[in-house]
Amino acid sequence: MKKVRFLLCLALILAMTTGMLAPAAVAILDGDGFNKATVDKRWVTDRYEPEEFDVARGNARSTKLVKDSKGNYDEVDNDGKVKTLRLTVGSGGFYQNRPADRKSDYYMVQGKKLPVETSSKNTWTVTGKLYVGQAYFSGSDQRRTQLSVYLKDGEGNPIEICPTLSLHKNGDNSPIWRYYNPKGKGARGWNTGDSFLNKDNELEELYVEEGWVTVMIKCNKGVITYWIGNKKIGNCTLDTTDVYPQAIAVNAYNYGKEYTVEWDNIYLYDGSYALPKADNND
């Protein structure tokens, strides 16, 4: 009897310790895991209608899959392929085919946005998973795809600054990550995320790697931070501490040549979400 009580006690202590050590679970509040036959019906055109914005069986994935809000993992077919979002920009959005009132560069950014549920007013995380394919490392075509968060202030009014994380291949150059920070040094608010602070707090160079990568836009009391995997590449300080997402947008730039990008697991987390170890793209 004594032994049983001792074991129960030990189990209780272990449970308590584990609970204390594990970071508080942060729930998915909204988003789309692209696991159904079609995308969530709430996605609406952002700026200009892309050629294609639909669920497809995407590139095989080896990293651990993220659970959706109902606790289901991504659906995986026999060949290991998961359902993902295919976003294609093409001839319908070429400059010469756009109507006269939509010739500006604003409309070369083509995609959709998802209005999201109201999260915490100051601490939240938006994530997305992007497939960085061979096309980003070869050829001389331009391509650029991005994840953006449209914001509201504490009173519920839309604010102009739209935090964005973008993968950009410019001609023959190697691809680069860029993030939006109008107070930064970059032209028109675009800054290059080519370094990050490592575990020893030293600045280390960041290279774009091939394969699936989870990117994150986090907010904590008016400070936006941009993450590639678990590497923080930049930030953007807003003028107000109370800001929260009204919509999440996924876009690609139309440079007059058709191409497709592949995304998955576009989610809004209520609170500060940290990538699980098996999924942090290291």
Question: Restricting to residues 30-69, which ones interact with Ca ion according to CB under 5 A?
Answer: 33-35
Listed residue (38, 31, 37, 85) closest to 58, CA to CA: 85
Asked if 214 touches Ca ion (CB under 5 A), the answer is no
Nearest residue to 248 (alpha-carbon basis) of 74, 28, 82 = 28
CB of 68 to Ca ion, least distance (A): 8
Q: Residue 31 is encoded by which pair of tokens?
A: 């988003």
Stretch that binds Ca ion, among 7-15, 25-33, 168-176, 236-244 (CB under 5 A): 25-33
What is the enclosing helix (H) or strand (E) of 11?
A: helix 2-21
Tell me, rounded to whole angstroms, the distance of Cα 207 from its chain centroid: 18
Report the nearest approach of Ca ion to the CB of residue 274 (Å).
21
CA–CA separation, 200 and 194 (whole Å): 18
Q: Which is nearer to Ca ion, 56 or 223 (CB)?
A: 56
* Geometric angle at alpha carbon 282, from 253 and 72, rounded to 5°: 75
**β strands within 90-202, DSSP E:** 109-115, 123-132, 143-153, 164-169, 176-180, 190-192, 195-197
**Residue from 32, 262, 264, 270 that binds Ca ion (CB under 5 A)?**
264
Q: Could you tell me if 122 and 92 are in contact, meaning their C-beta atoms sit under 8 angstroms apart?
A: no
Residue with Cβ nearer Ca ion (59 or 122):
59
Subset of 66-85 contacting Ca ion (CB under 5 A): 74, 83
User: Closest distance between Ca ion and the C-beta of residue 15, in Å?
Assistant: 33
> In one letter, which amino acid is 53?
F
Closest separation in Å from C-beta 55 to Ca ion? 8
| Residue 66 or 161 with smaller CB distance to Ca ion | 66
* Contact of 192 with 207, CB cutoff 8 Å: no
Q: Within 13 Å of residue 77, how many CA atoms lie on the same side as its CB? A: 12
244: part of which helix (H) or strand (E)? strand 243-253
Specify whether the CB–CB gap between 48 and 91 falls below 8 A.
Answer: no
Question: Minimal distance in Å, beta carbon 156 to Ca ion?
Answer: 31
Which is closer to Ca ion, CB of 64 or CB of 257?
A: 64
x/- letters, 152..191, toward Ca ion (CB under 5 A) = ----------------------------------------
Least separation in angstroms between residue 58's CB and Ca ion is: 8
- Collapsing DSSP to helix, strand or coil, 238 comes out as coil
Nearer to Ca ion, 35 or 164 (CB): 35
Number of residues counted as binding Ca ion (CB under 5 A): 6
Q: How far is the CB of 277 from Ca ion (least distance, A)?
A: 21
> Of 35 and 145, which CB lies nearer to Ca ion in the complex structure?
35
* Residue numbers at the binding site for Ca ion (CB under 5 A): 33-35, 74, 83, 264
